[in-house]
Structure 1
Amino acid sequence: MRNWFLLAFLAICTLSYGQDIKKSWYGTLDIQGTKLRIVFNVGGEGDQYVTTMDSPDQGARGIATDTTIYTGDSIFIRSNQLRMDYAGDVSAAGNRITGTFTQNGFSFPLDLSDTEIQAPVDELRIQDPREFPYYAEEVLIPNYKDSVALAGTLTMPYTADVKHTVILITGSGPQDRNEEITTINHRPFLVLSDYLTRNGIAVLRYDDRGVAGSSGNYGAATIDDFARDTEAVIDFVKARADIGSSKIGLIGHSEGGMVAPMLADQVDFLVLLGAPGTSTGQLLLSQSSLISKATGVEDTIIEANDLMMRDAYTFMMENPEIPDSTLYSELQKVFINGLNYYPQSARNAIGDSIVFARQQAATLVSPWFRHFINFVPYEYLSKVTKPLLALNGTLDLQVPYNENLRAIELGLQASGNEDFELVALEGLNHLFQTAITGAPSEYKKLNETFNEEAMKTILDWIVAR
């Protein structure tokens, strides 16, 4: 699921008076130990500057910004879409900018220079494949409905008779075909696809629209757009002479596990990994509470946050059609009133209530989130009659296993589905690593990429179909 504290996208523009500001500027954000490279490409005509931003570690490029103000030796930059400000001082030599990046109430030092920062050379993780004893093909898949081209990799065993083909659907946030989290050197879909292909199953994994090799605009997309992308991939597989007649299944992780049931009638089976079954509002509240507890947040703050966010989500669900500007204004009122749930010490620490309300409201008005908060998994699960396997780790704090597996079960029972299996895997987190606490902050500390017993469970279930 998306972690709103970590930045899915960043944008900035830069100016300097009397200096050669029209060039690429490089910097690294450090967010609680997670490092994220960013590049700001400054151009324009005369004293009118235009800047785009790249986030190489997230596969995002060409992100536009809106406002740049230059006052002699300092700059101020704003992105309306991302609700982000940057303020910095330009050095006399014109080769450095020292500044602060602020988004959604969180501020981070961000210094820029005109020297390119190279990507760190990642060591292979223990489970990363080193040899590939199977056929691999780079593919480009057209989504004609949305004029998007999806880049991916198809891997197939060296056998003339492939009985099963699976399509991997990534979780939320901009993801490449490996579902790579670059900041922690983690590639779960690479490991899963390698395991399945070595064991006789063809696998197609692809980059999200607007990410890596795929075209399109990720930032403007909703789950309906992602479903159309997956539908195009299904059509691509069915049209191939080598695997089109095999049994075709979808394996969706996290939000990908919400997409898969939307397309159940077009495939032969589904595998849901850490997939939501409850309402998305309840999911986010449970996620926030569990992660906060795991990181030591006081109970009074957790309770206050739960009440305030419940009010915000309820308002959004009750008013799904109002314009963004109206929603933004009304949510500010919800957040100002919501401060009354907090103890005085917390309100003092928050400071200006108006600034706080604006920052909180800004995080909820994107097209993706407006659609996400009104998405009801039951509406699709209750229509699924194809074979389905759902796996969750018992230490999954992002999609808590007990309530979500139960909700998935209720949906499948309503459909009359008689071929489904729900499995809670002891001690695994949302990424299917063997965990200690399950907290997202722990992901990067674990050597395991994808628990092998979990992969074997998936393999055995598919082969039996």
Structure 2
Amino acid sequence: MKRRALLTGAAALAAPAAAAQKYPMGTKQRLLRFPGAGGVELHGTLLLPLASELQRVPGVVLIGGSGPTDRDGNNSLLPLRIDLLKLIAELLARNGIASLRYDKRGVAASAKQSPAGLDAQERYYAWDNYVGDVMAAHAELLRHDEIKPYATALLGHSEGGLLALAAAAAMGKRAPYALVLAGTPGRPLIDIVRAQVSRTGPQYSAASERIMKAILDTGHVPADTPAELQLIFPPYAGPFFRGILTFDPAQTVATLDIACLLLHGGADAQVVPMDDIQPLIDALARRGKPGEAIVFPAVSHNLKPVTSAIDPGFVGPLAPAVADKLASWLRFVLGA
């Protein structure tokens, strides 16, 4: 199976290797509260390299994946600390790049305004609100004087990559200069869900199809959704899934006139290479704009090293090759 895909030619950016510690002076952290879509208060962390006290630096918004994922990239449904977004933030700061990461609406410190009642929850957790939160986080990043307003990026992990794509498209001429998609599917989520259910619980395939059709038709999760599928389709998530199920990431990236880097683990068991990501790689290659796509062998969905066939790659540091590529590419593109 092909494990590494690289776009070459005029569309590729030849970034130099990252220095292990270009800015050894350290970092400073700022805890933030800012309004998300609909005025919902979001809580986050701005991590700055100390070089920002002397000059403006590039900035990146970090967007977490699916489920109750906090600003550090940890999911409350898992007992392990993944810390993916925190690790990325620290990596960027060591390389002279600031980052803003935030608790998703309804999660951790951003959970204070979570509504009661199904109707209110459906409105609160709608797909458009999550996209709006990414745009609000980027606006908050630009509000800080240490950030170069012309050298920003969005970095989304997994489902967060879909939100980054949708936000960049919605921002139009106000879109950031660059986009990083990490472990992000290249097919519509409806196809990803079909494949995942078929692999892990084929006995639920028919029920899953019925539920997705009902969501697309009505915007609501059916009341008779089996308990086994409610982890995938929570009762309040109808408007969210109605927006994301048919969102086409490959078609969207083809319309964006910004630099784009795709990072993917060759041992990803959730968004499987190459079937799930090939459309995104093909779209990057066709568009004739700066773009690069790399699939790293023995790396997990969370961009961690995988040591065996049963190692999920949840804990530990970023895979060194991933860290080096991410830092060097962003330094080159954003001018850090």
TM-score under structure 2 normalisation?
0.76
C-alpha displacement at 1:379, in angstroms?
4.0
Question: Are the structure 2 counterparts of residues 309 and 400 from structure 1 closer, same or farther at C-alpha, using a change threshold of 3 Å?
Answer: farther
CA–CA separation in structure 2 for the residues paired with 1:454 and 1:309 = 38
CA–CA separation in structure 1 for the residues paired with 2:70 and 2:326 = 22
CA–CA separation in structure 1 for the residues paired with 2:276 and 2:145 = 38
Given the alignment of the two structures, is residue 395 of structure 1 paired with residue 267 of structure 2, yes or no? Answer: yes
C-alpha displacement at 1:245, in angstroms?
2.7
One-letter amino acid of the counterpart of residue 66, structure 2 = S
C-alpha displacement at 1:438, in angstroms?
6.2
Question: Are the structure 2 counterparts of residues 243 and 422 from structure 1 closer, same or farther at C-alpha, using a change threshold of 3 Å?
Answer: same
Question: Are the structure 2 counterparts of residues 460 and 210 from structure 1 closer, same or farther at C-alpha, using a change threshold of 3 Å?
Answer: same
Task: For residue 411 of structure 1, give the secondary structure of its aligned residue in structure 2.
Answer: helix
Q: Residues 212-249 of structure 1: CA distance to partner in whole angstroms, max 9, x if unpaired?
A: 22244385413321110111111112232221435000
1:252–1:272 Cα contact (<8 Å) kept: yes
Aligned to 1:96: none
For residue 302 of structure 2, the aligned residue among 422, 427, 431 is: 431
Given the alignment of the two structures, is residue 453 of structure 1 paired with residue 321 of structure 2, yes or no? Answer: yes
Aligned-residue identity in percent: 23
Task: For residue 285 of structure 1, give the secondary structure of its aligned residue in structure 2.
Answer: helix
CA–CA separation in structure 1 for the residues paired with 2:217 and 2:208 = 19
CA–CA separation in structure 2 for the residues paired with 1:289 and 1:195 = 37
**Higher Cα Rg, which structure:** 1
For residue 315 of structure 1, the aligned residue among 213, 237, 248 is: 213
Bigger share in strand: 1
Computed over aligned residues only, the root mean square deviation of the Cα atoms, in angstroms, reads 2.8
TM-score under structure 1 normalisation?
0.56
Output aligned runs, 1:294-443, within 5 Å.
Answer: 302=202, 305-306=204-205, 308=206, 311-312=209-210, 315-316=213-214, 320-322=216-218, 324=220, 328=222, 358-359=226-227, 364=233, 366-367=237-238, 368-413=240-285, 416-436=287-307, 442-443=312-313
Larger mean CA deviation between 369-378 and 385-394 belongs to 369-378
Given the alignment of the two structures, is residue 158 of structure 1 paired with residue 46 of structure 2, yes or no? Answer: no
For residue 268 of structure 1, the aligned residue among 177, 180, 191 is: 177
1:280–1:374 Cα contact (<8 Å) kept: yes
CA–CA separation in structure 2 for the residues paired with 1:405 and 1:443 = 19
CA–CA separation in structure 1 for the residues paired with 2:158 and 2:216 = 23
Given the alignment of the two structures, is residue 139 of structure 1 paired with residue 32 of structure 2, yes or no? Answer: yes
One-letter amino acid of the counterpart of residue 270, structure 2 = Q
One-letter amino acid of the counterpart of residue 49, structure 2 = P
Task: For residue 429 of structure 1, give the secondary structure of its aligned residue in structure 2.
Answer: coil
Task: For residue 200 of structure 1, give the secondary structure of its aligned residue in structure 2.
Answer: coil
Aligned to 1:254: 158
1:152–1:207 Cα contact (<8 Å) kept: yes
Q: Residues 74-97 of structure 1: CA distance to partner in whole angstroms, max 9, x if unpaired?
A: xxxxxxxxxxxxxxxxxxxxxxxx
Number of positions where the alignment pairs a residue of Structure 1 with one of Structure 2? 289
Aligned to 2:66: 172
CA–CA separation in structure 2 for the residues paired with 1:190 and 1:323 = 34
Output aligned runs, 1:1-12, within 5 Å.
Answer: none
2:265–2:303 Cα contact (<8 Å) kept: yes
One-letter amino acid of the counterpart of residue 299, structure 2 = L
C-alpha displacement at 1:443, in angstroms?
4.2
Task: For residue 193 of structure 1, give the secondary structure of its aligned residue in structure 2.
Answer: helix
Q: Runs of 5+ in structure 1 lacking a partner?
A: 1-130, 293-300, 333-356
One-letter amino acid of the counterpart of residue 435, structure 1 = V
Task: For residue 168 of structure 1, give the secondary structure of its aligned residue in structure 2.
Answer: strand
CA–CA separation in structure 1 for the residues paired with 2:216 and 2:57 = 44
Larger RCO: 1 or 2 (CA < 8 Å, sep 6+): 2
CA–CA separation in structure 1 for the residues paired with 2:189 and 2:304 = 24
2:285–2:291 Cα contact (<8 Å) kept: no
Question: Are the structure 2 counterparts of residues 323 and 442 from structure 1 closer, same or farther at C-alpha, using a change threshold of 3 Å?
Answer: closer
1:186–1:449 Cα contact (<8 Å) kept: no
Aligned to 1:198: 94
1:177–1:205 Cα contact (<8 Å) kept: yes
One-letter amino acid of the counterpart of residue 98, structure 2 = A
